[in-house]
Amino acid sequence: MTIRVLLADDQALLAGTFRLLIDSCDDMEVVGIAADGREAVDKARETHPDVIVMDIRMPGVDGLAATAEICADDSLGSTRVLILTTFEIDEYVAQALRAGASGFLGKDVGPEALLTAIRTVDAGDSLLSPAATRALIGRYLARPEPAGISSPDALAVLTARERQVMAQAAEGLSNTEIAELMHLSPLTVRTHVHRAMSKLHARDRAQLVVVAYRTGLVRVAPRRQPPPGGNGPFPGGR
């Protein structure tokens, strides 16, 4: 099946280059190009793409606002947003993930990495590497947000094993690492992850991480202070 891609970027040359690259693949096609967030929302509703490659900084409605509007639209429930950003990890990316984006890429991404990212997001898998997940957790996702925290009761629909796997995923572990830790097969872990996503209406693994922290399933352990007279700090929490 062909992956239908919408490009949203105010840099016409960059968007044109991405279009040539994507259209050269047998399994992808570009269904439109938007120069700002407002146009991205309008074209998303018109074309119903599988994946939107979304720049953050655009005139008028930016990529963050556009992502929030797209991901809140029930008619676009199968559309996933892949954020492009100048920096690998920054607060804008965390905001985009909270808004419903499925992952992110740096703007200096290579051609093959971009194509792989589109396929990954389209498949519903996480684009976030374990290292990137930990960085986002430590810097942004774990910040207190009283108005945005979901009720722990939301997790009642999960089995005990699904909650365990979800918690490990939120810590930044890959499926293989979780499988080794819990003595399961990677396929079984993947099944638990996808069942948790389905039950919690999470678009993908990235959203599952956000839900894990908002519901309090996983918390960042506070960094331990050195004892009086100690020579240095104890190792921090995970």
Confidence of residue 19 (pLDDT cuts 50, 70, 90): very high
Strand 28-34 vs strand 51-55: parallel, antiparallel, or unpaired?
unpaired
Q: Which residues have CB under 8 Å from 63's CB, separation 6+?
A: 8, 37, 40, 54, 55, 56, 57, 83, 84, 96
CA distance 132 to 96: 14
22 and 75, same domain (yes or no): yes
Task: Please give the DSSP secondary-structure letter assigned to residue 144.
Answer: -
204: containing domain: 147-214
CATH of the domain at 18: 3.40.50.2300
159 and 93, same domain (yes or no): no
Q: Encode pLDDT of 112-128 as tens digits.
A: 989 988 998 888 766 66
Q: Look at residue 233 and tell me if it is in a domain.
A: no
80 and 14, same domain (yes or no): yes
20 and 86, same domain (yes or no): yes
Q: Look at residue 64 and tell me if it is in a domain.
A: yes
160 and 105, same domain (yes or no): no
pTM exceeds 0.85, yes or no: no
Q: Look at residue 156 and tell me if it is in a domain.
A: yes
114 and 164, same domain (yes or no): no
Q: Encode pLDDT of 71-115 as tens digits.
A: 999 899 889 999 887 755 556 767 777 788 887 787 778 899 899
The H-or-E segment that residue 6 falls in is strand 3-8
Number of domains within the chain: 2
